[in-house]
Amino acid sequence: MKLLRIGPKGQEKPAILDEEGRIRDLSGHVDDIAGDVLTPEGLAKLSAIDVSSLPLVEGDPRLGACVGRIGKFICIGLNYADHAAETGAEIPSEPIVFNKWTSAISGPNDDIEIPRGCEKTDWEVELGVVIGKGGRYIEEEDALSHVAGYCVINDVSERAWQIERGGSWDKGKGCDTFGPIGPWLVTADEAGEVGDLAMWLEVDGHRYQDGSTKTMIFAVAHLIHYCSQFLSLQPGDVISTGTPPGVGLGQRPPVYLKGGETVRLGIEGLGEQTQRVVRG
């Protein structure tokens, strides 16, 4: 299934894509793509619905983040060997974990707003993992059974605040609009194996990132296992799993977003995003 959320910000309602790629309204069956709806039992109930019987959504509605009421927005840094190399960083011995604040979450095609005083705003196409079955101390061999599905994430980053202002990375990662998620959540059964998916990102038509999930250092199952040693995972939590090479920081000289650009990105089988960059 491809699950999505449509409507004005803060008023999104649940929807699903039919076999022809048309949007169908799910609000008669569930209140949101969130919480218990994402558990194995919740997804089983959705899969039993005759999608062709659902109301068609007309027009071109705004897409919200494909998951609602996200509790934790967990991110993994330097998780692609070729990205670590372009930044001159050593391969991590353990996953680097940081957070985006949930106020950073936005729709896949909403504007990216550069905060006041920012001069090194960057892009990162990433595979998002949405938790469906909660747990703590999850065994790696059982970890994928905890996944509801996968999605595209742009881990927008302000490098000066991330690297040059002291402390953790979080202050340069969690600004408002720095977490576009979607366009849809592709359930794990439909997404299949995600260990070798093409992923890309363009700015004003120039392709900067052109990689694959196959260069991940720590695979999805290990990341779920690892994170669950430090915190409990709950349905609707999101893990953003790192980015391939081609970020602005890695260009020679570096290239950053200034405002006025159009960013397009996507992952094989999981859809595309398009954002306009504006200054706050």
pLDDT in tens, 228-241: 999 999 999 999 99
Query: How far from 267 is each of 91, 142, 165, 201, CA to CA, in Å?
Result: 24, 25, 32, 9
pLDDT at 193: 96
Domains and CATH numbers, the chain: 2-53 (no CATH), 73-279 (3.90.850.10)
Percentage of the residues of the chain whose pLDDT score is greater than 70:
100
Is the overall model pTM greater than 0.95, yes or no?
yes
- Cβ neighbours for 30, distance < 8 A, ≥ 6 positions apart: 14, 37, 42, 46
Answer for the pair 51, 23: CB distance below 8 angstroms, yes or no: no
| Residue 2: its H or E element | strand 2-6
pLDDT at 82: 79
pLDDT in tens, 79-123: 998 777 777 778 899 999 999 999 999 999 999 999 999 999 999
Residue 20's CB is within 10 A of a number of other CB atoms, namely 6
Q: How far apart are CA 195 and CA 227, in angstroms?
A: 19
Q: How far apart are CA 266 and CA 253, in angstroms?
A: 25
Answer for the pair 235, 132: CB distance below 8 angstroms, yes or no: yes
Least confident piece of the model among 137-146, 158-167, 228-237: 158-167
